[in-house]
Amino acid sequence: MDFSLSEEQLLLKDSITTFVDKDYLFDVRQKNIKTELGYSSDFWKTFADLGWLGMPFSEADGGYNGGPIDLMVIMESLGRGLVVEPYIPNVVLAGGLVSRLGSEEQKTELLPKIISGEIQMSVAFSEPQSRFDLNDVITSAKKEGDSYILDGYKAVVMNGPSSNNIIVVARTSGNQLDKEGLSLFIVDPSSKGVSLRNYSNVDGSKASEITLEKVSTPASSLLGNEGDAFSALEEVIDLATLAISAEAVGIMEKMNEITLEYTKTREQFGETLSSFQALQHRMVDTFMAYEQTKSLLLMCAAKLTDKSDDARKAVSALKYQVGIAAKHVGEESVQLHGGMGVTDETNIGHYFKRLTTIRAIFGNTDYHLKRYSAL
């Protein structure tokens, strides 16, 4: 039993940590999220140059054959830096689906461009009524000759605004909640009948509401077999759940450090805040919450790597724990900062906002507790 990272993984961690500490400064990030793009295309290029965008792809697809543990290492480090560049929507979600289901032609067309950072992609899987249930899909796709006609509405699509291609989950057969009958289509957002309402989320990321009205997309845009997308989608979302949990663990580790440092310098009643036992014990509790979550993160990454029978159950255990710990660590960090915690100029509040959106992304505690119980 070995919890240590390999030499390559340590180097990877080191290279991202160096980037985050030296280049990804808080005020630079704050400027970037206020631009129309919402992140830095220069930084995105750096990610590509340093090989981070190619990590999870096979060597045959032009990547570095990285597994869940490598993904965990990347996301934990990006989390510490509160990196807003859309790694998960591009690389884990869209890249994951294309590499699993794509034809040779689709892979050759898209994967090199994802890996080189040339294109941006996203996956439109959620709808207003579906929340976290991947099988709950009303958006329909009907075959007409050599094309499919898409109709429906997709909610809060991460990275929608910059995407050159959007992978849309649509129903080709069956009823609203059926797992069978789901298909994926690679849609050009400039196609006739596609309209995007773009906006910022509170965590600084960008998203879109997407309306599809009689959108005609060629049969060649079908990704994978018709009606057979569910299991691949679930697998990719599970991996993305690991990724976002790792991001949360990185954020919590950083928030605990920032808070501890703050309480060691801030003085009230002639003493530092850290000298008060009531506050010390609360920081011990947030430290333990982080540690507990980190333990489940490592467990889950190992089980996904081994393709264990209980890997999916481990994903839900992890995301449930992330939800509990994120609320605890996030809210306590703000409280221990006092008034400074609720100001826009202090970084802690921005870490808090991202940690809060992560609680719901790919399923909140209620969803994952139910899934855990059912598996």
Partner 1 sequence: MNLSFSEEDLKFQDEVRSFIAENYPADIKNKMDNGIPVSKDDIQTWQRILSKKGWFAVNWPEEYGGTGWSITQKHIFQNELADANTPTLVPFGVSMCGPVVYTFGTQEQKDRFLPGIINNDVWWCQGYSEPGSGSDLASLKTKAVKDGDHYIVNGTKTWTTMAQHADWIFCLVRTETTDIKQQGISFLLIDMKTPGVEVKPIITIDGSHEVNMVYLDNVKVPVENLIGEEGAGWNIAKFLLAHERTGIGGIPALKREIRRLREITSELPLGEGFLKDDELFMDKLNKLEIDLLAAEYSELRTLAAMSKGGHPGPESSILKIKGTDLQQGLSDLFVEALGYYAHPFMSEDDLISNEGRIGPDFAANVMPHYLNYRKVSIYGGSNEIQRNVIAKAVLGI
* Cβ atoms 296, 317 nearer than 8 A: yes
Nearer to partner 1 (CB atom), residue 237 or residue 302: 302
Q: Is 277 in the site for partner 1 (CB under 8 A)?
A: yes
Nearer to partner 1 (CB atom), residue 66 or residue 152: 66
Q: What is d(CA 131, CA 149) in angstroms, rounded to the nearest whole number?
A: 24
Binding mask 49-88 for partner 1 (x = CB under 8 A): --------------------x-------------------
Q: What is d(CA 245, CA 73) in angstroms, rounded to the nearest whole number?
A: 11
Residue of 176, 275, 356, 357 that binds partner 1 (CB under 8 A): 275
Residue of 162, 321, 333, 346 that binds partner 1 (CB under 8 A): 321
Residues in the interface with partner 1 (CB under 8 A) total: 39
Tokens encoding 222: 């079908």
Place of tokens 């075959």: 143
Other beta carbons less than 10 A from residue 290's beta carbon: 22
Q: Is 1 in the site for partner 1 (CB under 8 A)?
A: yes
Q: Name the one range near partner 1 by CB under 8 A: 122-130, 138-146, 286-294, 333-341.
A: 286-294
The terminus-to-terminus CA distance of the chain in angstroms comes to 26
Residue of 50, 258, 298, 340 that binds partner 1 (CB under 8 A): 298
CB of 87 to partner 1, least distance (A): 21
Residue of 88, 97, 317, 334 that binds partner 1 (CB under 8 A): 317
Q: Is 284 in the site for partner 1 (CB under 8 A)?
A: yes
Q: Is 360 in the site for partner 1 (CB under 8 A)?
A: no
Nearer to partner 1 (CB atom), residue 69 or residue 170: 69
CB of 371 to partner 1, least distance (A): 10
Q: What is d(CA 189, CA 374) in angstroms, rounded to the nearest whole number?
A: 37
Q: Is 269 in the site for partner 1 (CB under 8 A)?
A: no
Q: Is 333 in the site for partner 1 (CB under 8 A)?
A: no
* Cβ atoms 78, 10 nearer than 8 A: no
Contacts of 5 (CB under 8 A, 6+ apart): 13, 69, 73
Nearer to partner 1 (CB atom), residue 49 or residue 257: 257
CB of 56 to partner 1, least distance (A): 16
* Cβ atoms 234, 134 nearer than 8 A: yes
Binders of partner 1 among residues 117 to 176 (CB under 8 A) are none
Residue of 110, 232, 301, 348 that binds partner 1 (CB under 8 A): 301
Helix (H) or strand (E) holding 167: strand 165-171
Q: Is 367 in the site for partner 1 (CB under 8 A)?
A: no
Tokens encoding 66: 């990285």
Q: Could you give the maximum distance between any two Cα atoms of the chain, in Å?
A: 79
Which of 229, 360, 249, 238 has its CA nearest to residue 303?
Answer: 238
Residue of 11, 219, 288, 342 that binds partner 1 (CB under 8 A): 288
Nearer to partner 1 (CB atom), residue 33 or residue 336: 336
Q: What is d(CA 324, CA 242) in angstroms, rounded to the nearest whole number?
A: 16
Q: What is d(CA 7, CA 91) in angstroms, rounded to the nearest whole number?
A: 23
Nearer to partner 1 (CB atom), residue 24 or residue 132: 132
Phi-psi region of 238 (alpha: psi -120 to 50; beta: other; left: phi over 0): alpha
Q: Name the one range near partner 1 by CB under 8 A: 5-13, 56-64, 105-113, 163-171.
A: 5-13
CA distances from 31 to 15, 24, 37, 345 (A): 24, 11, 11, 12
Contacts of 340 (CB under 8 A, 6+ apart): 262, 346, 348
Q: Is 6 in the site for partner 1 (CB under 8 A)?
A: yes
Q: Which residues bind partner 1 (CB under 8 A)?
A: 1-6, 9, 69, 260, 264, 274-275, 277, 280-281, 283-285, 287-288, 291-293, 295-296, 298-299, 301-303, 305-306, 308, 317, 320-321, 369, 372-373
